[in-house]
Chain A
Amino acid sequence: MKEIRLVPLDLSIELKSLGFDDPCITWYWDDIGIYKGFELGNHNKNPNLISAPLFYQAFKFFKDKYKLYKNITQYYGESFYFKIDDMVHPRRFGEYPVELIRDFGEYSSEEEAELACLKKLIEIVKEK
């Protein structure tokens, strides 16, 4: 089901370590794989499970918890790029939000851009 895109296991583990605890529709079990059914809940509460968030949920988590806002845009109906803004950095008069990253990687699909953007968000938070 291509429309329902879940964060892959390695990044879901990183999200768990960063405090992601929103309810998710399913979960990973160690490195065995994903549970292919719906089971709504905060699976990160269980030490043996890893919540499998939607990409959308993961980006909301970074916006709400770490005030990091991503924007993925498509150029002229062709390639995609992303940028990340810091929503809390102190600003002076006339300044725009601090743009941490502007990646003109020209990803050929939104999925690729989302994945690269999520990796970058995790990296930023881990470096803080």
Chain B
Amino acid sequence: MSKKVNRNCKGEVILNIKDTEEYKSSIKLLNKITMNKEFVPYEEALVLKELGFDEQCLALYDLDGNITIEFVNWENAINTKDNYLISAPLYQQTFRWFREKYKLSCSIELTDNSRHYYFDFTIYDSKDRDWNDEDCFDSCKRLYSDGEYSTYEEAELECLKKLIGIVKTK
């Protein structure tokens, strides 16, 4: 079935931006970046919005979870208070937000058990001191990861989920 072609009153073909090669190649590259997991996934982005994350982002999700990068100047970058859009923050933005807003910082560590290496993480709560921590008397409260992760990206996502869990239970 042939695709319907839109024409203006002069009979000229009106190209939908989504049909242009520029758009398609941009989406391809965006997907590559997204696949590199630089943006927080949709589910977590949604929860971050509920938690009050409202910083400017490079990209956004629609309600179906599709990611779109906005071709706007930086000064006008997205700050989604709109109910139908969800900011797609970078991981680095999100971790900074937790650190600045909730005093929760994290460290994703490379660990080796001599046979293979894996990643795990520690979350430091600098608001709550843990006076019973034997390692360091005046210590931040430490929360450790539940598992071992074979990639940095897995550990990063789990760390983010844990941060969200901590804030939601506060």
Contact = CB atoms under 8 A, between A and B. Distances in A.
Interface string B53-83: 0011110000000000111111101000000
B12 to A, nearest CB: 27
B145 interface: no
B114 A91 contact: yes
Nearest to A38: B71
Interface stretch (B41-49, B87-95, B158-166): B87-95
A23 B99 contact: no
Contact of A40 (B30, B77, B93): B30
Nearest to A96: B112
Contacts of B91: 56
Contacts of A36: 73-74
Given A54-B90, A54-B92, A71-B109, A3 B56 contact: yes
Given A3-B93, A77-B105, A25 B73 contact: no
Interface residues of B, number: 44
Contacts of B69: 25, 38, 40
B38 interface: yes
A73 interface: yes
Given A55-B92, A76-B126, A110-B96, A22 B112 contact: no
A85 interface: yes
Nearest to A34: B74
Contact of A23 (B29, B55, B109, B152): B29
A78 B105 CA distance: 10
Nearest to B119: A69
B112 A97 contact: yes
A56 B90 contact: yes
B65 to A, nearest CB: 20
B30 A95 contact: no
A71 B29 contact: no
Given A1-B74, A71-B107, A71-B110, A77 B124 contact: yes
Contacts of A110: 96, 99
Contact of A73 (B72, B105, B111): B105
Interface in A85-116: 85, 87, 91-97, 110
A54 B127 CA distance: 29
A54 B72 CA distance: 18
B105 A69 contact: no
12 contacts: A1-B77, A3-B55, A3-B89, A4-B93, A23-B32, A40-B26, A41-B29, A69-B152, A76-B124, A85-B110, A97-B110, A97-B117
Interface of A: 1, 3-5, 22-23, 25, 36-38, 40-42, 54-57, 60, 63, 69, 71-74, 76-78, 85, 87, 91-97, 110
Given A23-B32, A55-B92, A73-B105, 15 more contacts: A1-B56, A1-B75, A3-B93, A22-B33, A23-B33, A37-B71, A40-B26, A57-B36, A73-B107, A74-B126, A78-B126, A87-B110, A91-B114, A110-B96, A110-B99
